[in-house]
Amino acid sequence: MSLHRLNSVTIAVPDVDAARAYYEEFGLAPANGGWLATHNGGRQLRIVHAPSRRVAGLSIGVDDEDDLGRIQAQLAKLDVPARRDDERIITTEPITAVEVEIAIVPRVQEGPSPVEPTNGPGRIDRGDARAPSILREDPVAVRKLGHVVMGSVDQELSQRFYVEGIGLKISDEVPGIASFMRCSTDHHNVLVQQAPVNFLHHTSWEVDDADEVGRGATRMLEGNPERHVWGMGRHFVGSNFFWYLKDPAGNFSEYYSDLDCIVEDALWKPGVWEGTRGLYSWGPPPPPSFINPEDLAALIVGAHSSP
């Protein structure tokens, strides 16, 4: 597909410094211009101030000017205003007011994760050695931003913007609630779910393997058990290992690994999943706060009281 990556996300929070410190501890690195960077994706997280938490911006990568021209025409058919220069388009998703940039950028070059020998029934590959993963002591390296999940007061119209306007493709669906949409070969990069208020549900960050998911979350929870939300487990839709934590503003952040990839569109058949079946294959059941965050009522009140 001509769309090839989720470049970055901008999140708005009441306390920028606290959020920034959290994500640096999570595994992102300070970068120029106030950004935070991942190992493979570069500058991928910007944090700005707002009275309540939300998604302020998304950037999606394309290959060339022809891609920009096609997207500009698609947005015009939806009567969505957009401004364009030689290398990007800037528009706004009408329902959630997220500013969306479509930019000509190079494709992400990811080196492979290290493959460690494992033992199994009738197979001793590691021999007389401990598992290398239990000896890791270096900080967890976040490879890239994987996806962003947000609530919308009109999920159908928000989804139409991303699919018909920008050109994302649907990988799987939960009828009446959300669709998993992709702008790369990853199973999903953007998900908009029906909600009583527009808000950021979570951002998701790729690490090398399941051990890094567990190791990263364990370190984040040392001395801060209140950060725990849900995990460890394995999703059904997307297939990835996961562990969700909570930042100081109330946004969830996910470590993940081993996500489904869709390299040939013709070989993938989108599924339709009901209830919690699509949420997880194994692990603890999702807590009520994962579906309805504890501050949701306050966000609704804040949205109604805003001028």
In-domain check, residue 174: yes
In-domain check, residue 55: yes
Residue 166 has a pLDDT of 98
Residue 287 has a pLDDT of 95
C-alpha closest to that of 202 among 160, 242, 251: 251
Model pTM score: 0.95
In-domain check, residue 278: yes
Tell me the CATH number at 283.
Answer: 3.10.180.10
In this structure, what are the phi and psi dihedrals at residue 213, rounded to the nearest 5 degrees? -60, -50
Residue 15 has a pLDDT of 98
In-domain check, residue 120: no
Residue 115 has a pLDDT of 82
Q: Is the Cβ–Cβ distance between 197 and 153 less than 8 Å? A: yes
In-domain check, residue 31: yes
- Based on the number of CB atoms within 10 Å of its own CB, is 185 exposed (0-12), middle (13-18) or buried (19 or more)? middle
Residue 278 has a pLDDT of 80
In-domain check, residue 33: yes
Domain encompassing residue 175: 3-108+140-305
* Residues 207/253/283/208 CA torsion (nearest 10 deg): 0
In-domain check, residue 121: no
Residue 302 has a pLDDT of 85
In-domain check, residue 126: no
Residue 62 has a pLDDT of 97
Position 196: which residue type?
Answer: P
Q: Which helix (H) or strand (E) holds 67?
A: helix 65-77
Both structure tokens of 220? 């984040």
What's the rounded Cα separation, in Å, for the pair 165 and 76? 8
Residue 86 has a pLDDT of 87
**Tens digits of residue pLDDT in 62-105:** 999 999 999 999 999 999 999 999 899 999 999 999 999 999 99
| Structural domain total, the chain | 1
Residues in the chain with pLDDT values less than 70:
1, 305-307
Residue 289 has a pLDDT of 95
